């Protein structure tokens, strides 16, 4: 039996001016869930939002309080970031990725959303004719949506059928058209939790180099592939990264997930040296400056968008990165909670007739972490989101992520034990009402 009736859902939808429940957008679906929860006092099992479910890292909080008490926050932050954070970023990349990136090339941004906006914008403006970002989907919808601000173009494909050597041919076919300025992916990825292997990263680097394409690697879920024991500083295994294979890269290093610091909008954008030093006449023409990529990124973009970012949060991030390098802060252990929740959630779903949509990662089983994907019979993404809503479970449709396959995204971050029990009960109800064929 459903927890909410058709008329209850219809009533809330009407109040929210949702014209068609069947064709509601993500924001509308989430509002509808909130509204149902609020109106009828039935708590939702929230698997929609990708917000951290742990307290903020205390090392960061303490450093931030110290910075505030010191009085340093009265003056503008340097646009290129404070030295202590730039150095900590460089040290962190060496300790966990085993790559050398000079502190000069590590630039703080107001979250990786700003980093992604800046990266996409500068790449699509630096070479005439190269005006398109290629997204290796399924991916994070905001990174496409934000391109509308400048009018940059994008295209994408679902990588699921193009892993390993097939990736090379697919990339060749697209990049050889010549209009792609940069390609972007996350590793592990949101929502499918796919991880490129070392071999695939090498392929991406080679094809990108052949067609002069920048590789933007989003490390939002840094080292959260739970199948491998990452997270010991300066020791193998190192986290796979494109920076091992090309200098023509931008890494986006968010503090939101690994340090549960989403509220402070703090990330690093790290640029490969050859790219940082590239001179672009198109940038000179647009920004009336030297045209140097790195200087343009800092002085003509970051400075002009937000004039740098929160001083105290920069001190916090520096302290957390350094503590991780010292071995005094084990972010990997903190994150393992999400993996164990995901494991449990997946088994509940599977027990009740659901399947993991993106279940294979090249030739391995998909890992457990922050996100996973599920499908049910022949339900479309939108149908399944709506159907789960009737059972008090909120998710995100895969269609919005560029996925070819139908299903929904589930996030493990908010799944406390009481929520897990609710999920179990509700999936049981769902199965009774929806016998699979």
What is residue 359's DSSP assignment? -
In whole angstroms, the minimum distance from the beta carbon of 69 to its own copies comes to 7
Q: Are 367 and 195 in contact (CB under 8 A)?
A: yes
DSSP 212-227: T-EEEEE-TTTT--TT
> Measured from the CB atom, is 61 or 337 closer to its own copies?
61
In whole angstroms, the minimum distance from the beta carbon of 418 to its own copies comes to 18
> Measured from the CB atom, is 367 or 402 closer to its own copies?
402
Residues in contact with its own copies by CB under 8 A are 27, 49, 51-52, 54-56, 61, 64-65, 68-69, 71-77, 110-111, 113-114, 117, 121, 142, 145-146, 148-151, 256, 260-265, 286-288, 299-301, 303-313
Residues 6 or more apart whose CB falls under 8 angstroms from that of 20 comprise: none
> Measured from the CB atom, is 73 or 337 closer to its own copies?
73
Q: Are 434 and 401 in contact (CB under 8 A)?
A: no
User: φ, ψ for residue 133 (rounded to 5)?
Assistant: -100, 130
Residues 6 or more apart whose CB falls under 8 angstroms from that of 33 comprise: 44, 46, 48, 389, 394
With left for phi above 0 and alpha for psi between -120 and 50, is residue 271 left, alpha or beta?
beta
> Measured from the CB atom, is 286 or 434 closer to its own copies?
286
Residue pointed to by tokens 């994408």: 156
> Measured from the CB atom, is 113 or 268 closer to its own copies?
113
In whole angstroms, the minimum distance from the beta carbon of 305 to its own copies comes to 6
Q: Are 346 and 356 in contact (CB under 8 A)?
A: yes
> Measured from the CB atom, is 205 or 252 closer to its own copies?
252
- CA-closest candidate to residue 54, choices 381, 360, 330, 404: 330
In whole angstroms, the minimum distance from the beta carbon of 131 to its own copies comes to 12
Please give the structure tokens belonging to residue 401. Answer: 């992520």
Q: How far apart are CA 356 and CA 358, in angstroms?
A: 6
> Measured from the CB atom, is 77 or 188 closer to its own copies?
77
In whole angstroms, the minimum distance from the beta carbon of 14 to its own copies comes to 16
Calculate the alpha carbon distances from 186 to 93, 160, 192, 230 in Å.
Answer: 16, 14, 10, 17
In whole angstroms, the minimum distance from the beta carbon of 141 to its own copies comes to 10
Order of strands across the sheet with 371-375? 355-356, 371-375, 408-411, 396-397
In whole angstroms, the minimum distance from the beta carbon of 422 to its own copies comes to 20
In whole angstroms, the minimum distance from the beta carbon of 411 to its own copies comes to 12
What is residue 363's DSSP assignment? T
> Measured from the CB atom, is 54 or 166 closer to its own copies?
54
Chain centre distance of CA 263: 15
In whole angstroms, the minimum distance from the beta carbon of 70 to its own copies comes to 10
> Measured from the CB atom, is 52 or 399 closer to its own copies?
52
In whole angstroms, the minimum distance from the beta carbon of 271 to its own copies comes to 18
Residues 6 or more apart whose CB falls under 8 angstroms from that of 212 comprise: 127, 130, 248
> Measured from the CB atom, is 228 or 337 closer to its own copies?
337
Strands 180-186 and 249-254, how do they pair? Answer: unpaired
In whole angstroms, the minimum distance from the beta carbon of 118 to its own copies comes to 9
Please give the structure tokens belonging to residue 24. Answer: 């509601």
> Measured from the CB atom, is 90 or 125 closer to its own copies?
125
Q: How far apart are CA 159 and CA 155, in angstroms?
A: 13
């Amino acid at each position: 039996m459903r927890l909410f009736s058709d008329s209850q859902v219809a009533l809330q939808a009407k109040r929210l001016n949702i014209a068609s429940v069947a064709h509601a957008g993500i924001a509308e679906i989430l509002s509808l869930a909130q509204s149902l929860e609020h109106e009828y006092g039935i708590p939702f099992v929230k698997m929609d939002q990708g917000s951290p479910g742990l307290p903020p890292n205390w090392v960061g909080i303490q450093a931030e309080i110290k910075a505030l008490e010191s009085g340093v926050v009265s003056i503008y932050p340097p646009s290129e970031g404070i030295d202590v954070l730039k150095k900590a970023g460089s040290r962190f990349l060496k300790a966990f990725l085993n790559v050398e990136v000079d502190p000069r090339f590590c630039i703080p941004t107001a979250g990786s959303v700003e980093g992604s906006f800046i990266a996409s914008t500068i790449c699509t403006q630096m070479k005439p004719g190269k005006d398109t970002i290629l997204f290796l989907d399924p991916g994070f919808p905001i990174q496409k949506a934000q391109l509308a601000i400048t009018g940059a173009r994008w295209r994408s494909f679902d990588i699921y059928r193009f892993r390993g050597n097939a990736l090379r041919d697919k990339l060749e076919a697209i990049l050889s058209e010549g209009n792609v300025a940069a390609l972007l992916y996350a590793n592990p990825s949101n929502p499918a939790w796919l991880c490129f292997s070392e071999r695939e990263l090498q392929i991406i680097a080679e094809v990108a180099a052949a067609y002069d394409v920048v590789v933007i690697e989003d490390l939002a879920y840094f080292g959260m592939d739970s199948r491998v024991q990452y997270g010991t500083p300066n020791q193998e295994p190192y986290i796979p990264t494109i920076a091992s294979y090309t200098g023509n890269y931008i890494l986006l290093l968010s503090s939101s997930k690994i340090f549960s610091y989403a509220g402070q909008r703090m990330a690093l954008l790290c640029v490969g040296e050859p790219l940082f030093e590239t001179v672009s006449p198109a940038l000179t023409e647009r920004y009336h400056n030297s045209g140097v990529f790195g200087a343009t990124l800092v002085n003509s973009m970051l400075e002009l968008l937000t004039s740098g970012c929160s001083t105290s949060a920069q001190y916090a991030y520096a302290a957390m990165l350094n503590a991780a390098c010292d071995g005094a802060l084990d972010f990997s252990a903190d994150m393992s909670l999400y993996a164990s929740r995901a494991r449990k959630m997946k088994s509940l779903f599977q027990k009740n007739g659901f399947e993991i949509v993106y279940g294979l990662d090249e030739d391995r089983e998909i890992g457990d972490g922050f996100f996973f994907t599920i499908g049910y019979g022949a339900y479309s993404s939108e149908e399944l989101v709506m159907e789960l809503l009737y059972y008090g479970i909120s998710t995100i449709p895969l269609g919005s992520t560029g996925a070819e396959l139908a299903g929904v995204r589930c996030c493990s971050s908010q799944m406390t034990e009481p929520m897990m029990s609710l999920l179990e009960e509700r999936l049981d109800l769902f199965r009774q009402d929806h016998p699979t064929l």
